[in-house]
């Protein structure tokens, strides 16, 4: 989401004094269009607890995924689209179900509890988000690694064994968290990108982020996390959703499936 040229210094901005530029940037931020801030250093995408493999014929409890699909306006703001999001949710669940069934696993959609259980579940969803963000920032991103995460092969994160007490978790082997955000470039955004290229301004088109994490339902340990800022696969179509799910689950160590037809990416990860 690189919006207007206010974030870019250049001779073209001689019209304003340098002092105005940070003000302009601040005001642009206040308008809600954030410039893309990509870490310069390389960032890892996947982490696995050493020695972890998904147990054979595992029961995987899927908590309600956070899926947002919409358009990216010319100026770079997110335009949520309810139809696309509904399609994406249905397609993703179907693709996930098909893929895991192929591996002999069972994906169970978590029920939505009410009352105290609902609060607890919300707590854990929030906790997972914090945990996953911390992993991304302090382990995947090498520039800001915590001292305890610096040794190679260490992947030691947990949200605590009390996750067992959540409704539905007792009968499951793993809890799966998924969130995706897709912003498809609008016509205006695409034109702006082309015009921008002529004007010497870089205008990125589209945002396709996804995150998937697997938590051991008995120990609360985060056994696998995958996070990708440039995902492929269009969730609005069944085929695209299959590709997206394969990418989301990339690097998840699984046992050899009962049938030979394993998606190439998963086989490669083994």
DSSP 223: E
**Which sign, positive or negative, has the C-alpha torsion 262, 43, 47, 98?**
negative
- CA–CA distances in Å: residue 201 to residues 6, 77, 184: 11, 18, 20
How many chain residues touch other proteins (CB under 8 A)? 48
Token readout for 126 is 């929030």
CA angle (42, 209, 112) in 5-degree steps: 130
Estimate the crossing angle of helix 238-248 against helix 82-102, to 10 degrees: 60
Going by C-beta distance under 8 Å and a sequence separation of 6 or more, which residues neighbour residue 125? 63, 177
Q: Which candidate, 175, 171, 173, 207, places its Cα nearest to that of 71?
A: 207
Measured from the CB atom, the residue of 5 and 95 that comes closer to other proteins is 5
Out of 187, 259, 260, 261, point to the residue binding other proteins (CB under 8 A): 187
Residues 109-168 that bind other proteins (CB under 8 A): 118-119, 121-123
20 contacts other proteins (rule: CB under 8 A): yes
Measured from the CB atom, the residue of 24 and 94 that comes closer to other proteins is 24
Given a contact cutoff of 8 angstroms between Cβ atoms, the answer to whether 124 and 213 are in contact is no
Measured from the CB atom, the residue of 195 and 267 that comes closer to other proteins is 195
**Least Å distance between CB 76 and other proteins?**
6
Out of 43, 45, 52, 85, point to the residue binding other proteins (CB under 8 A): 85
Binding mask 193-222 for other proteins (x = CB under 8 A): --xx--x-x-x-------------------
Task: Kindly indicate which of the ranges 22-30, 163-171, 220-228, 255-263 contains the residues binding other proteins, using the contact rule CB under 8 A.
Answer: 22-30
Measured from the CB atom, the residue of 30 and 261 that comes closer to other proteins is 30
Task: Kindly indicate which of the ranges 27-35, 37-45, 145-153, 254-262 contains the residues binding other proteins, using the contact rule CB under 8 A.
Answer: 27-35
Q: Is 204 exposed, middle or buried (0-12, 13-18, 19+ CB in 10 A)?
A: middle
Out of 143, 161, 188, 258, point to the residue binding other proteins (CB under 8 A): 188
CA 260 to chain centre: 29
Measured from the CB atom, the residue of 27 and 130 that comes closer to other proteins is 27
Measured from the CB atom, the residue of 66 and 150 that comes closer to other proteins is 66
> Cα(238)–Cα(44) distance, rounded to whole angstroms?
28
Binding mask 28-67 for other proteins (x = CB under 8 A): x-xxxx--------------------------------x-
Going by C-beta distance under 8 Å and a sequence separation of 6 or more, which residues neighbour residue 200? 10
Given a contact cutoff of 8 angstroms between Cβ atoms, the answer to whether 200 and 236 are in contact is no
**Least Å distance between CB 5 and other proteins?**
3
Contacting positions for other proteins (CB under 8 A): 3-6, 8, 12-16, 20-21, 24, 27-28, 30-33, 66, 68, 70-71, 73-77, 79-83, 85, 118-119, 121-123, 186-188, 192, 195-196, 199, 201, 203
């Amino acid at each position: 989401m690189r919006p207007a040229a206010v974030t870019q210094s250049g001779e073209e901005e001689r019209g304003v004094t340098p002092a105005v530029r940070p003000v302009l940037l601040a005001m642009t931020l206040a308008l809600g269009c954030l410039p893309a801030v990509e870490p310069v250093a390389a960032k890892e995408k996947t982490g696995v607890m050493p020695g972890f493999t998904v147990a054979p014929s595992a029961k995987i409890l899927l908590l309600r995924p956070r899926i947002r699909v919409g358009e990216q306006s010319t100026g770079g703001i997110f335009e949520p689209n309810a139809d696309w999001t509904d399609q994406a949710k249905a397609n993703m669940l179907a693709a996930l179900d098909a893929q895991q069934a192929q591996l002999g696993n069972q994906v169970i959609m978590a029920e939505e509890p009410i009352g105290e259980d609902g609060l607890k579940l919300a707590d854990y969803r929030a906790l997972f988000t914090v945990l996953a963000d911390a992993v991304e920032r302090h382990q995947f991103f090498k520039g800001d690694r915590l001292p305890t995460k610096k040794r190679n092969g260490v992947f030691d994160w947990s949200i605590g064994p009390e996750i067992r007490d959540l409704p539905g978790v007792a009968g499951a082997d793993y809890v799966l968290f998924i969130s995706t955000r897709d912003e498809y470039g609008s016509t205006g955004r695409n034109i702006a990108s082309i015009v921008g290229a002529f004007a010497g301004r870089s205008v990125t088109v589209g945002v396709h982020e996804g995150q998937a994490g697997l938590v051991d339902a008995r120990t609360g340990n985060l056994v696998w996390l995958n996070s990708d800022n440039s995902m492929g696969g269009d969730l609005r179509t069944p085929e695209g959703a299959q590709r997206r799910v394969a990418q989301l689950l990339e690097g998840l160590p699984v046992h050899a499936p009962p049938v030979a037809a394993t998606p190439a990416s998963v086989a490669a990860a083994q």
